[in-house]
């Protein structure tokens, strides 16, 4: 059940019934069929669709121990809603005596909940980012195409927020590309309290008997290292474009210049489309140089010291060949071969 029916008699399930959905997940337009297990021969049923309020309600007459209630699944129920069934029975004279109560025929109620989980797939935008290359040099211009498609694979219009951020910085905090679906269509809590006073009805007793249990309160349900080169333009965020308009063709383009960081950048796109559809995506590009030279010198020297001049030479990718290093000195330093 989606919510517990709490009563003032602790650890008691006397007022709870089972409401069993025929599927674990539904689509908008489906009909959910809920099996209600009733302990009453006949009862009136208050059936309501709830989530942070009452979405709809109706009253039914039920007979027998197993009844099926049909519920049309609407867009208002995304991403989930709750079916509440409150069975109410008036006083009866021929109720079976199970020995657990003084007055088995007194007015009674039973309540149960079931979760209606609605597939949010139709609200998800398929977002793709296609940069014009995967490897760039510092200062290059990146051109990327962002595409939006709906759940059926057709182009979708909307708006996109685009970001290009240093992957190394993002990894320090474990930053994940925002997914608006998890914000706007996250699972919701019930936030509705159900109360019923019939549990407080005083039972009939013979005048010669001791006064029995006068009843108790009704219950409810509540869900509840610094670089050594001439590169100088460094930035952790290479691009931030708050709004990119996407037309009916589902395509937009973005262009930005890379800073001098030798790193990987994560390109991120967060999209919203017509019909309250959302999506996001990311991809990675690498900024590198084919040849990198890093001097390796002592941190400090004293007058008269002799030290070796070293350099770390690194190639990236398939570049190979001979490298000529030239060392020049100035000031009170003498170059000795």
pLDDT in tens, 17-46: 999 999 999 999 999 999 999 888 888 999
Q: Are the C-beta atoms of residues 158 and 126 closer than 8 Å to each other?
A: no
Return the pLDDT at 138. 92
Return the pLDDT at 45. 92
Return the pLDDT at 230. 53
Q: How confident is the model at residue 102 (pLDDT cuts 50, 70, 90)?
A: low
Half-sphere exposure of 209 (CA within 13 A, CB side): 9
Return the pLDDT at 41. 85
What is the rounded average pLDDT for all residues in the chain? 83
Q: How confident is the model at residue 222 (pLDDT cuts 50, 70, 90)?
A: very low
Q: Specify the higher pLDDT residue, 233 or 188.
A: 188
- 3-state SS, the chain, equals CCCCEECCCCCCCCCECCEEECCCCECCCCEEEEEEECCCCEEEEEEEEECCCEEEEEEEEEECCEEEEEEECCHHHCCEEEEEEEEEECCCCCCCCCCCCCCCCCCEEEEEEEEEEECCHHHECEEEEEECCCEECCCCEEEEEEEEECCCCCECCEEEEEEEEEHHHHHHHCCCCCCCHHHHCCCCCCCCCCCCCHHHCCCCCCCCCCCCCCCCCCCEECCCCCCCCCCCCCCCEEEEEEEEEECCCCEEEEEEECCCCCCEEEEEEEEEECCCEEEEEEEEEEECCCEEEEEECCCCCCCCCCCCCEEEEEECCCCCCCCCCCCCCCCCCCCCC
Q: Which residue has the tokens 């001791």?
A: 210
Return the pLDDT at 216. 44
Closest CA to 261 of 147, 152, 139: 139
- Burial class from Cβ neighbours inside 10 Å (0-12, 13-18, 19+) for residue 183 reads exposed
Strands 141-149 and 42-50: unpaired
Please report, rounded to a whole number, the percentage of residues in the chain having pLDDT higher than 70: 83
Return the pLDDT at 257. 96
Q: Are the C-beta atoms of residues 249 and 222 closer than 8 Å to each other?
A: no
Residue 127 reports pLDDT greater than 50: yes
Q: Specify the higher pLDDT residue, 32 or 6.
A: 32
Closest CA to 146 of 65, 75, 246: 246
Residue 207 reports pLDDT greater than 70: no
Which of 110-114, 217-221, 318-322 bottoms out in mean pLDDT, i.e. has the lowest?
217-221
Residue 2 reports pLDDT greater than 50: no
The length of the chain in residues reads 337
Q: How confident is the model at residue 325 (pLDDT cuts 50, 70, 90)?
A: confident
Residue 213 reports pLDDT greater than 80: no
Q: Specify the higher pLDDT residue, 114 or 107.
A: 114
Return the pLDDT at 56. 93
Reported as a single tens digit per residue, the pLDDT across 257-315 is 999 888 999 999 999 998 899 999 999 999 988 777 878 888 888 888 888 888 888 77
Return the pLDDT at 202. 63
């Amino acid at each position: 059940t989606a919510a517990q029916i709490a009563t003032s008699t602790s650890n008691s399930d006397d007022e709870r019934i089972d409401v069993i959905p025929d599927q674990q997940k539904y689509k908008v337009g489906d009909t959910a069929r809920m099996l209600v297990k009733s302990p009453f021969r006949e009862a009136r049923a208050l059936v309501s669709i709830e989530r942070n309020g009452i979405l709809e309600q109706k009253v039914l007459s039920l007979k027998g121990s197993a009844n099926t209630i049909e519920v049309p699944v609407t867009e208002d129920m995304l991403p989930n809603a709750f079916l509440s069934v409150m069975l109410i029975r008036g006083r009866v004279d021929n109720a079976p005596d199970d020995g657990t109560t003084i007055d088995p025929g007194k007015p009674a109620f039973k309540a149960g909940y079931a979760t209606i989980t609605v597939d949010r797939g139709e609200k998800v935008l398929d977002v793709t980012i296609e940069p014009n290359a995967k490897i760039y040099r510092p200062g290059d211009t990146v051109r990327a195409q962002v595409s939006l498609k709906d759940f059926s694979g057709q182009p979708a219009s909307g708006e996109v927020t685009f970001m290009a951020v240093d992957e190394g910085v993002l990894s320090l905090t474990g930053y994940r590309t925002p997914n608006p679906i998890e914000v706007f269509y996250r699972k919701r809590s019930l936030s509705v309290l159900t109360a019923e006073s019939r549990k407080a009805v005083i039972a009939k007793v013979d005048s010669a008997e001791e006064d029995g249990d006068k009843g108790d309160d009704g219950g409810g349900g509540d869900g509840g290292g610094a670089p050594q080169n001439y590169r100088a333009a460094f930035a952790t965020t290479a691009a931030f474009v708050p709004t990119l308009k996407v037309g009916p063709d589902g395509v937009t383009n973005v262009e930005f210049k890379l800073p001098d960081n030798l790193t990987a950048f994560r390109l991120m796109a967060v999209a919203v489309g017509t019909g309250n559809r959302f999506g996001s995506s990311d991809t990675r590009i690498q900024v590198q140089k084919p040849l990198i030279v890093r001097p390796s010198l002592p941190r400090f020297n004293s007058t008269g010291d002799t030290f070796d001049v070293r350099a770390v030479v690194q190639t990236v990718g398939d570049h190979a060949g001979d490298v000529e290093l030239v060392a020049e000195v100035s000031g009170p330093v003498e170059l000795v071969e």
